[in-house]
């Protein structure tokens, strides 16, 4: 549960996923990518304790970034502008 800080033991530790200074998974709002290729993070896991509206917004934005990563572009809606995004 992201709300109580990510649990480091297990998945995060085994994959050597980097945390930020607050103990959350380090991933930027630019692309939601962690330090490990193909691993993305969004919501409380990335932001720390927050609101459900942020979790929904980040989930949607992150999905678009994953789509772009896999396909080279995405037709999913952007929070900022409803246009086709190329990497
Ligand atoms: C008690 C409480 C009250 C809240 N009240 C409000 C409120 O009134 N209004 C509001 O806006 N927000 C509220 N929040 C905050 C809101 O619930 C969170 O911001 C939101 O749920 C975050 O969504 P998320 O998807 O990022 O993370 P989460 O909802 O924490 O979902 C993460 C999911 O990942 C799963 N998971 C974790 N590790 C693994 C793993 N290794 N493998 C597979 N699955 C895994 C977890 O079981 C969980 O289902 C509250 C939170 C709490 C705890």
Atom 33 (ligand 1): residue with closest C-alpha? 1
Locate the DSSP E strands across the chain.
Answer: 73-74, 85-86
Tell me how far the alpha carbon of residue 44 lies from the centroid of ligand 1, in angstroms: 7
Which pLDDT does position 79 carry in this prediction?
82
Question: What is the 8-class DSSP label of residue 8?
Answer: I
Tell me how far the alpha carbon of residue 69 lies from the centroid of ligand 1, in angstroms: 25
Nearest Cα residue to 55 out of 37, 36, 32, 84? 32
Tell me how far the alpha carbon of residue 52 lies from the centroid of ligand 1, in angstroms: 8
Which pLDDT does position 2 carry in this prediction?
54
CATH of the domain at 29: 3.50.50.60
Instruction: Tell whether ligand 1 has an atom less than 6 A from the beta carbon of residue 3.
Output: yes
How would you write the pLDDT of the chain (87 residues) with one tens digit per residue?
A: 556 789 999 999 999 999 999 999 999 989 999 999 999 999 999 999 999 999 999 999 999 999 999 999 999 988 876 555 555
**Helix or strand (DSSP H, E) at 53:** helix 52-71
Number of structural domains (the chain) is 1
Give the structural domain span for 35: 2-86
Q: Does this model's pTM top 0.95?
A: no
């Amino acid at each position: 549960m992201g709300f109580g800080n990510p649990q480091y033991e297990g998945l995060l530790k085994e994959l050597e996923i980097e945390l930020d200074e607050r103990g959350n998974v380090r991933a930027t709002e630019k692309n939601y990518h962690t330090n490990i290729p193909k691993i993305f993070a969004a919501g409380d896991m990335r932001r720390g304790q927050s609101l459900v509206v942020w979790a929904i917004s980040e989930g949607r934005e992150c999905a678009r970034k994953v789509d772009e990563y896999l396909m080279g572009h995405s037709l999913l809606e952007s929070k900022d502008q409803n246009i086709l995004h190329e990497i």
